[in-house]
């Protein structure tokens, strides 16, 4: 089975909301092949008119790696169609088996031409915010290998960003949590994200160079969840809060 066919299968599963079998159950992919499938699959969304608006990192915390039984960092692409307005709403029937997780988001201020490091990264970022990501694996039982989930654009499905704060706002090690209907369900610290969420932003610049992806002004980078994710149901109000960043929320209809 060629990459185009696999990409089509995954894109259709996402678009038509139909669960699909893990690719690894019938066609083993290596990491490079999995990223190639992801690129083709997202290309199909772009042809339908969606715009690339950023990247997300995944499995940047132990809690996430343990929950999903994987062992390495991954990255995926964000499109404008995945955006959920702060205090807005989204519909349960737009998803298969959605889960939410609390995240930190960065906003890129000018095109990034090279791999950056902790000492120069802030020159290219003009906003930091608390965010919620909705992940919605296209695979049955939300189960996958690392290559499967990469091919499936790292389960990317939706994201909601709170008020942008200045780059100087301390984000290295602050309390962050996720609540459902006002009751906290998961809590941790942002240092769970690679020891410091800025490390995720640095990793995004390295991965973008490695895979030939442009990081443009205005793009958003999701640093990866600080805690495990929780399944969502209709009728819930989901919120995330981080010290110094306030709260972000949306309603699942």
**Smallest gap, in angstroms, from Cβ of residue 200 to ligand OOG?**
9
What are 185's two structure tokens?
Answer: 């369900």
Q: How many CB atoms neighbour CB 51 within 10 A?
A: 10
Burial state string for 82-114 with b = 16 or more CB within 10 A and e = fewer than 16: bbbebeeebeeeebbebbbbbbbbbbbbeebee
Distance in angstroms (rounded) separating the CA atoms of residues 212 and 100: 29
**Which residue in the set 224, 227, 232, 240 belongs to the binding site for ligand OOG (CB under 6 A)?**
224
* Span near ligand OOG by CB under 6 A; candidates 4-12, 53-61, 230-238, 244-252: 53-61
Among the residue ranges 14-22, 55-63, 106-114, 240-248, the one whose residues contact ligand OOG (CB under 6 A): 55-63
Q: Binding to ligand OOG by residue 147, rule CB under 6 A?
A: no
Among ligand OOG, Mg ion, none, what does residue 193 contact (CB within 5–8 Å per kind)? none
Cβ–Cβ < 8 Å for 77, 55? yes
In this structure, the chain runs to a length of: 253
> Which residues are at the interface with Mg ion (CB under 5 A)?
133, 225
CB nearer to ligand OOG: give 158 or 205: 158
Q: By C-alpha distance, which of 146, 134, 136, 135 is closest to 69?
A: 146
User: Site size for ligand OOG, by CB under 6 A?
Assistant: 14
Q: Report which DSSP code applies to 154.
A: G
Q: Which of 40, 207, 225, 252 lies at the binding interface for ligand OOG (CB under 6 A)?
A: 225
Kindly tell me which residue out of 59, 198, 245, 250 binds ligand OOG, with binding defined by CB under 6 A: 59
- Whole-angstrom distance, CA of residue 105 vs CA of residue 221: 6
Measured at CB, which residue is nearest to ligand OOG? Answer: 58
Residues of this chain that bind ligand OOG (CB under 6 A): 56, 58-59, 64, 68, 101, 133, 135, 137, 149, 154-155, 224-225
């Amino acid at each position: 089975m060629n990459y185009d066919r696999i990409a089509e299968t995954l894109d259709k599963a996402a678009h038509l909301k139909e669960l699909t079998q893990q690719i690894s159950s019938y066609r083993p992919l290596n990491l490079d092949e999995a990223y190639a499938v992801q690129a083709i699959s997202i290309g199909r969304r772009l042809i339908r008119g969606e715009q690339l608006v950023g990247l997300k990192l995944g499995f940047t915390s132990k809690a996430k790696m343990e929950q999903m039984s994987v062992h390495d960092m991954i990255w995926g692409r964000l499109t404008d169609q995945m955006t959920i307005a702060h205090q807005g709403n989204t519909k349960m029937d737009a998803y298969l088996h959605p889960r939410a997780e609390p995240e930190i988001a960065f906003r890129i201020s000018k095109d990034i031409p090279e791999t950056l490091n902790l000492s120069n990264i802030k020159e290219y970022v003009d906003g930091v915010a608390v965010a919620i990501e909705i992940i919605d694996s296209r695979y049955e039982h939300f189960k996958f290998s690392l290559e499967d989930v990469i091919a499936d654009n790292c389960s990317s499905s939706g994201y909601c960003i709170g008020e942008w704060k200045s780059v100087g706002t301390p984000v290295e090690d602050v309390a962050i949590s996720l609540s459902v209907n006002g009751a906290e369900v998961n809590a941790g610290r942002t240092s769970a994200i690679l020891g410091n969420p800025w490390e995720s932003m640095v990793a995004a610049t390295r991965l973008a160079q490695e895979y030939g992806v442009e990081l443009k002004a205005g793009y958003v980078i999701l640093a990866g969840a600080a805690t495990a994710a929780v399944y969502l149901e209709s009728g819930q109000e989901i919120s995330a809060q981080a010290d110094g960043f306030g709260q972000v929320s949306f309603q699942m209809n």
